[in-house]
């Protein structure tokens, strides 16, 4: 439960050893490289130009990655259902080195794949074009004259189409209306289609009269065909179809060529990782200050790794290393470390924002409340067991699983345990499955009595429980704030900002709990003697007055102080709404239980008939799967909300930079 | 039967399911359209946007929940039937908070979910935060449902 202490580190070494040293640092992966000293003498130290090398490696890496994508497109890798849990394959350092010896080959293969893909796309464009032509030639198939015919010795020949559906008579009529044909000429329709509104026409006239003839045709919207046909259309079609077959064959060959690199996938992956790591190294290298014979590199290392890290470097190379504490006003990068129980919720903290300097890592205390809140919202023992079982099995089955995923699964595993616990407390096991099944199918009702109480019989009691959990949760937040203030030795702030609030809240809650109204609503409460009541009222008033006069203590102006104090007191309304916000525990808890019961009820309706058992099983499986899925989502979302808004709101800001060590950022394989 | 008690009671329960259902249907529908758009560009975001799409589906379930609880207490699935018109109107009134808050918050949660889906499409690493925005809207449906549930449980004629 802590933010790891960081050390600043400065390594000075010989230039001739800079590459092995950088590789060592990259392999260790515990140092974030960044500039922590500004007063560098620019004359003695200069940066090296590594852009060209860096971008060459980057290009290699991304080309190979693209080639892998293309390969996967044509020859998808067979994936099992659980493959995403498996994590990356692990290689020893020697094996990896052996594989990437052939990295030049990988780059060539990637190049071939990329080129082939380009050809493939060009071929596809040709095929599309040809298909378009084949479609467009359809109306002209009736024409049995070669497309290039312009006429005979004495006549001229035209063909084309009108975007209109016409019969032969209508055509003549239209021409008569718009102009005249020369004497020895005619235009015949050889194709017309109502759907596409197209009429294809072949016309001929005497040589020398083309102009008048064409003008007459054009006046009714005659246009030349959209495609070029050299021979008789039918022949053209045959030719094109034959070409299409060849194209398809060529395309298949290209695809096969890409597919043939299937066995190179592994080499490609290793090489991509290799090039990526090189590029990262050159990026760092370009940022280093180097003199003629030396260079130095600075950054942050977590304190717990610092010693072994320094020892290793000093043993292997000629280096001078100094480590320093991070200064008061410096922001060091943040790395969290927690025990097995609270580590899983680190992801939740991370997504809200890592702790800033001097802030406490909230994971530890949050973990407990996270599991409890989740459990109360889902509160069904059977669902909890399923969650626990599934997560546990996955974690056990795939030890190499990626870290983030592993954390999430662990978190749900703990949530599952809590859900089971609260399910038993409230008597939910697939809703009321046990009584329903025993009554419908075995004739004798067996109850599963809740260990504590049944929320559906006593919803007010669960509401009270929810609100109490909420109060406890938020007071926990307030305590953390107090702890942080005490740690910073700000005792006055702790007393004014936390102490007075706790007095006020304690007083108000006690007053409420001892009131008659509270007792009638919840049929529970506390009884306080007269003296006790007076003490409580006194505490409340002291708390309120304390807040009123001290929350603006940083202001000199007294009027302003009081105004700020009033504003702080107004915060009571915030506490009220925050506490009421926890009533969602009741709503979500009831929703799981009631819908599960409805599922059981529907399933058991035909219990006495022949199909009773199979119908029940089907309805049971589908219904409970859906109910579990939707309520799991609800519980997850609302637990996050309660943690982020109600709990973090009391003490936590976040906004720290995460620790990003210089390491092997491998995408495909893990090297050990 | 001149008394309309049972009619009003069932009408209230029906409204819970109908309005809650409409709210969720509109909300999930809006979010679904946005999700489909994101998945066209990047199929890998399917699981994330699906979760966001499902957020407004709870209002329908809450309406259903209140209706079932009311049915179990006022003589449809169990309990004693409502006899007088006055009692029926009381049950009707008890159902209203859930029905109306679920309708409105379902639609608005859908809109917020659309915005969050846009957020996730550009910055997938902000997924957890993107869930919180729509979840805020749901609070008010929960409060409405809570009052309806408490009323259904505690009304005495």
DSSP string, A185-213: -EEEEEEEETTTTEEEEEEEEETT-HHHH
Residue A111 inside a domain? The answer is no
In a shared domain, residues A300 and A445: no
Sorting pLDDT into bands at 50, 70 and 90, what band is A210? confident
Higher pLDDT, A331 or A461: A461
**Residue among B61, B127, B153 whose CB faces A459 most closely:** B153
A280-316 pLDDT tens trace = 888 888 888 888 888 888 889 998 888 899 998 889 8
Q: pTM of the full predicted structure?
A: 0.82
Query: Band of the pLDDT at A347, cuts 50, 70, 90?
Result: confident
Q: How many domains does chain B have?
A: 1
Strands A6-14 and A294-302: antiparallel
Q: How confident is the model at residue A499 (pLDDT cuts 50, 70, 90)?
A: very high
Q: Under an 8 A CB cutoff, do B61 and A640 touch? A: no
| Same domain membership, residue A597 and residue A536 | no
Question: Are the beta carbons of A580 and B136 separated by less than 8 Å?
Answer: no
pLDDT band at A39 (very low <50, low <70, confident <90, very high): low
Query: CA of B128, closest CA in chain A: separation in Å?
Result: 6
Closest Cβ opposite residue A640 in set B68, B132, B153: B132
For residue A587, is it within any domain? yes
Residue B66 pLDDT > 80: yes
Which SS3 state, helix, strand or coil, does residue A630 take? helix
- Considering only CB atoms, A595 lies closest to which of B54, B65, B129, namely B65
B57 touches chain A (CB under 8 A): yes
**Does a structural domain hold residue B107?**
yes
Inform me whether the pLDDT recorded for A43 exceeds 70.
no
**Cβ(A261)–Cβ(A74) below 8 Å:** no
For residues A51-67, average pLDDT: 91
- Report d(CA A99, CA A103) in Å as an integer: 8
Angstroms from B143 CA to nearest CA on chain A: 8
- Cα–Cα distances in angstroms (integers) from residue A402 to residues A96, A138, A408, in the given order: 20, 58, 10
A92 pLDDT band, cuts 50/70/90, is confident
> What distance in Å separates residue A179's CA from the closest CA in chain B?
55
Using the Cβ of B142 and the Cβ atoms of chain A, whether some distance falls under 8 Å is answered with yes
Same domain, A189 and A207: yes
Q: Is residue A137 part of a domain?
A: no
Residue A42 has pLDDT above 80, yes or no: no
CB < 8 Å to A634, chain B:
58
**A208 is in which domain, residue-wise?**
149-228
Decide: helix, strand or coil at residue A503.
helix
The whole-number pLDDT of residue A189 equals 84
CA A379 remoteness from chain centre: 28
pLDDT surpassing 80 at residue A109: yes
Q: Is residue B126 part of a domain?
A: yes
CB contact under 8 Å between B58 and A594, yes or no, is no
Q: Which of B62, B129, B150 sits opposite A591 (nearest CB)?
A: B62
Domain assignment of residue B6, yes or no:
no
The alpha-carbon gap from A99 to the nearest alpha carbon of chain B, in Å, equals: 30
Using CA atoms, how far apart are residues A419 and A370, in angstroms rounded to an integer? 11
pLDDT reading at A350 higher than 70: yes
Q: Are residues A91 and A65 in the same domain?
A: yes
- Which of B17, B50, B65 is the best mutation test for A, with the most CBs of A within 10 A? B65
Highest-confidence segment of A341-355, A510-524, B3-17: B3-17
Model confidence at A187, pLDDT cuts 50, 70, 90, reads confident
Q: Per the CB < 8 Å rule, is B146 touching A591?
A: no
Q: Do A460 and B153 lie within an 8 Å CB cutoff?
A: yes
Q: What is the mean pLDDT of chain A?
A: 88
Residue written as token pair 């808004």? A645
**What residues of chain A lie within 8 A of the CB of B153, using their CB?**
459-460
CB contact under 8 A, B51 and A630: no
A38 falls in which pLDDT band (50, 70, 90)?
A: low
Instruction: Give the nearest chain A residue to B61 (CA atoms).
Output: A591
- Same-domain status, A553 and A412: no
Report the C-alpha gap between A203 and A171 in whole angstroms.
12
Comparing alpha-carbon positions, the chain A residue that sits nearest to B152 is A459
Q: Is the pLDDT assigned to residue A341 strictly greater than 70?
A: yes
Residues 60-99 (B) with a CB less than 8 A from some CB of A: 61-62, 64-65, 68-69, 77
If you search the block for the tokens 């058991």, which residue do you land on? A604
- Residue of B44, B59, B138 to mutate, interface with A, max A Cβ within 10 Å: B138
Distance from CA of B15 to the nearest CA of A (A): 18
Look at chain B and count its residues: 157
How do strand A90-91 and strand A670-671 relate by DSSP bridges?
parallel
- Domain boundary among the residues A228, A247, A277 is at A228
Above pLDDT 90, what percent of chain A?
Answer: 33
- With CB atoms and an 8 Å threshold, state whether A637 touches B131: yes
Confidence (pLDDT) at A427: 92
The 10s digit of each residue's pLDDT in A606-632 is 878 888 889 999 999 999 999 999 999
Q: What value does the mean pLDDT take over residues B97-109? A: 96
pLDDT of A445 over the 80 cut: yes
Name the residue among A393, A411, A426, A456 with its Cα closest to residue A598: A456
How many angstroms separate the CA atoms of A399 and A379, rounded? 29
Task: Kindly state whether residues A463 and A574 are assigned to the same domain.
Answer: yes
Q: Tell me the pairing of strands A6-14 and A155-162.
A: unpaired
Note the pLDDT of residue B14.
96
Instruction: Tell me how far apart the alpha carbons of residues A142 and A225 are, in angstroms, rounded to a whole number.
Output: 14
**Closest chain A CA to residue B69:** A594
Structural domain contains residue A239: no
Residue in chain A nearest B63 by alpha carbon: A591
Q: Identify which of A353-362, A660-669, B43-52, B85-94 has the greatest average pLDDT.
A: B85-94
Domain assignment present for residue A211? The answer is yes
What residues in A contact B129, CB-CB < 8 Å?
351-352
Nearest CA in chain A to B64: A595
Question: Using the beta-carbon criterion (under 8 Å), do A641 and B132 form an inter-chain contact?
Answer: yes
How many domains is chain A partitioned into structurally? 4
Whether residues A522 and A561 share a domain: the answer is yes
Residue with the larger pLDDT of the pair A26 and A414: A414
Tokens 């197209």 sit at which residue?
A198
Going by C-alpha positions, the residue among A98, A60, A63, A65 that lies closest to residue A265 is A65
Nearest residue, CB atoms, B68 vs list A352, A598, A630: A598
Is A368 contained in some domain? Answer: yes
Contacts of A581 in chain B (CB under 8 A): 139
Residue A658 lies in a domain: no
What pLDDT, on a 0 to 100 scale, did the predictor assign at position A580? 87
A630 interface with B at CB cutoff 8 Å: yes
Assign B110 a pLDDT band (cuts: 50, 70, 90).
very high
Distance CA A657, CA A644 (A): 19
For residues A577 and A590, state if they share a domain.
Answer: no
Q: How far is A542 from chain B (nearest CA, A)?
A: 33
Q: Is residue B82 part of a domain?
A: yes
Query: Is the pLDDT reported for residue A519 higher than 90?
Result: no
A583: chain B residues, CB-CB within 8 Å: 142-143, 146
In a domain, B90, yes or no: yes
Measured between alpha carbons, how far is A376 from A588 in angstroms, rounded to an integer? 8
Write the CATH number for B136: 1.20.120.610
Q: Is residue A523 situated within a structural domain? A: yes
Last residue of a domain, one of A530, A547, A582: A582
Contacts A633 to B, Cβ<8 Å: 51, 54-55
Instruction: Give the domain-ending residue among A527, A558, A582.
Output: A582
Distant-in-sequence, close-in-space partners of A366: CB < 8 Å, separation ≥ 6: A342, A345, A348, A349, A643, A647
Percentage of chain B exceeding pLDDT 70: 99
Cα gap B112→B118, rounded to integer Å = 10
Answer whether B126 sits within 8 Å of A351, measured CB to CB: yes
Task: Specify the pLDDT at position A37.
Answer: 62
Whether residue A123 has pLDDT greater than 90: yes
Q: Which of B65, B131, B138 sits opposite A594 (nearest CB)?
A: B65
Q: What is the CATH number of the domain that holds A208?
A: 3.30.70.2750
Q: Which residues of A touch B65 (CB under 8 A)?
A: 590-591, 594-595
- Report the residue from B55, B143, B154 with minimal CB separation from A637: B55
Share above pLDDT 90 across residues of chain B, in percent, rounded to a whole number: 57
In this complex, do B149 and A590 lie within 8 Å of one another by their Cβ atoms? yes
Does A595 sit within 8 Å of B61, measured CB to CB? Answer: yes
CA distance A150 to chain B (A): 51
Return the ∠ at Cα A286 (arms to A280 and A289), rounded to 5°: 130
Weakest-pLDDT range from A69-73, A187-191, A318-322, A648-652: A187-191
Provide the pLDDT confidence category of residue A158 given band limits of 50, 70 and 90.
confident
- Who among B58, B68, B143 is closest to A594 (CB)? B68
- On whether both A415 and A353 belong to a single domain, the answer is yes
How close B156 gets to chain A, by Cα (Å)?
14
Range of the structural domain that residue B133 is part of:
19-154
Q: For chain A, what percent of residues have pLDDT higher than 70?
A: 99
- Rounded to whole angstroms, the Cα distance separating A616 from A433 reads 11
Residue A40 confidence (pLDDT): 63
| A575, A591: one domain | no
* Chain A residues near residue B126 by CB distance under 8 angstroms: 351
**CA-to-CA distance for A187 and A190, rounded, in angstroms?**
10
B9 falls within a domain? no
Q: Which residues of chain B have a CB within 8 Å of the CB of A456?
A: 69
Q: Specify if B43 maps to a domain.
A: yes
């Amino acid at each position: 439960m802590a933010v790891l202490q960081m050390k600043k580190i400065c390594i000075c070494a010989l230039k001739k050893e800079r590459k092995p040293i950088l590789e060592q640092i990259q392999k260790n992966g515990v140092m974030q490289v960044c500039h922590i000293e500004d007063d560098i003498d620019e004359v003695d130290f200069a940066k090296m130009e590594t852009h060209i090398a860096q971008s060459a490696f980057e290009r290699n890496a991304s080309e190979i990655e693209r080639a892998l994508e293309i390969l996967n497109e044509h020859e998808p890798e067979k994936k099992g259902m659980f493959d995403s849990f498996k994590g990356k394959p692990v290689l020893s350092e020697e094996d990896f080195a052996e594989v990437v010896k052939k990295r030049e080959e990988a780059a060539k293969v990637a190049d071939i794949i990329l080129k082939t893909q380009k050809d493939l796309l060009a071929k596809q464009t040709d095929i599309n074009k040809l298909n378009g032509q084949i479609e467009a030639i359809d109306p002209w198939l009736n024409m049995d004259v070669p497309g290039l015919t312009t006429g005979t010795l004495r006549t001229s020949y035209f063909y084309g189409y009108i975007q209109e559906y016409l019969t032969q008579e209508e055509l003549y009529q239209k021409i008569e209306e718009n102009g005249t044909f020369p004497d020895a000429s005619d235009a015949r329709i050889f194709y017309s289609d109502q759907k596409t509104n197209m009429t294809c026409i072949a016309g001929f006239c005497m040589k020398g009269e083309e102009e008048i003839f064409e003008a007459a045709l054009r006046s009714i919207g005659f246009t030349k065909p959209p495609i070029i046909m050299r021979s008789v259309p039918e022949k053209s079609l045959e030719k094109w179809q034959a070409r299409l077959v060849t194209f398809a064959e060529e395309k298949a060959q290209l695809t096969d060529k890409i597919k043939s690199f299937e066995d190179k996938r592994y080499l490609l992956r290793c090489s991509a990782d290799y090039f990526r790591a090189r590029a990262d190294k050159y990026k760092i290298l370009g940022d280093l200050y180097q003199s003629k014979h030396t260079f130095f590199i600075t950054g942050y290392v977590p304190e717990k790794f610092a010693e072994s890290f320094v020892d290793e470097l000093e043993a292997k190379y000629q280096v001078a290393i100094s480590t320093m504490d991070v200064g008061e006003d410096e922001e060091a990068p943040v790395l969290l470390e927690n025990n097995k129980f609270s580590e899983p919720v680190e992801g939740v903290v991370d997504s809200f924002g890592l702790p800033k300097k001097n802030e406490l890592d909230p994971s530890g205390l949050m973990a407990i409340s996270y599991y409890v809140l989740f459990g109360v919202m889902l509160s069904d023992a059977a669902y909890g067991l399923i969650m626990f079982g599934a997560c546990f099995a996955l974690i056990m089955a795939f030890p190499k699983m990626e870290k983030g995923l592993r954390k999430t699964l662990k978190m749900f595993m703990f949530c599952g345990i809590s859900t089971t616990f609260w399910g038993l407390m409230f008597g939910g096991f697939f809703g009321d499955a046990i009584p329903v099944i025993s009554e419908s199918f075995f004739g004798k009702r067996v109850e599963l009595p809740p260990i504590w109480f049944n929320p559906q019989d006593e919803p007010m009691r669960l509401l009270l429980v929810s609100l109490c959990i909420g109060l406890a949760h938020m007071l926990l937040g307030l305590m953390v704030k107090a702890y942080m203030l005490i740690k910073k030795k700000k005792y006055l702030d702790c007393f004014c900002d936390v102490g007075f609030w706790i007095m006020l809240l304690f007083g108000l809650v006690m007053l409420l709990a001892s009131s008659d109204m509270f007792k009638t609503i919840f049929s529970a409460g506390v009884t306080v003697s007269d003296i006790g009541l007076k003490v409580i009222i006194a505490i409340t008033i002291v708390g309120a007055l304390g807040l009123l006069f001290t929350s603006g203590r940083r202001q000199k102006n007294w009027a302003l102080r009081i105004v700020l104090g009033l504003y702080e007191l107004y915060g009571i309304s915030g506490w009220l709404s925050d506490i009421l916000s926890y009533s969602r525990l009741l709503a979500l808890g009831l929703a799981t239980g009631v819908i599960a019961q409805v599922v059981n009820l529907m399933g058991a309706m035909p219990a006495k008939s022949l199909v009773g058992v199979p119908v029940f099983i089907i309805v049971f499986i589908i219904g409970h799967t859906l109910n579990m899925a939707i309520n799991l989502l609800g519980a997850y979302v609302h637990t996050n909300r309660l943690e982020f808004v109600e709990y973090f709101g009391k003490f936590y800001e976040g906004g720290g930079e995460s620790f990003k060590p210089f390491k092997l950022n491998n995408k495909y394989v893990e090297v050990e | 039967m001149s008394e309309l008690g049972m009619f009003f009671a069932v009408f209230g329960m029906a409204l819970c399911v109908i309005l809650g259902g409409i709210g969720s249907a509109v909300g999930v529908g809006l979010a679904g359209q946005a999700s489909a758009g994101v998945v066209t560009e990047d199929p890998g975001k399917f699981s994330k946007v699906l979760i966001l799409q499902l957020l407004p589906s709870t209002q329908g379930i809450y309406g259903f929940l209140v209706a079932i609880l009311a049915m179990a207490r006022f003589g449809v699935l169990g309990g004693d039937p409502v006899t007088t018109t006055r009692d029926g109107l009381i049950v009707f009134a008890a159902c209203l908070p859930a029905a109306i808050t679920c309708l409105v918050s379902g639609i608005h949660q859908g809109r917020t979910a659309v915005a969050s889906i846009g957020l996730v499409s550009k910055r997938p690493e902000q997924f957890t935060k993107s869930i919180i925005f729509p979840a805020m809207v749901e609070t008010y449906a929960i409060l409405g449902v809570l009052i309806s549930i408490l009323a259904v449980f505690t009304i005495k004629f």
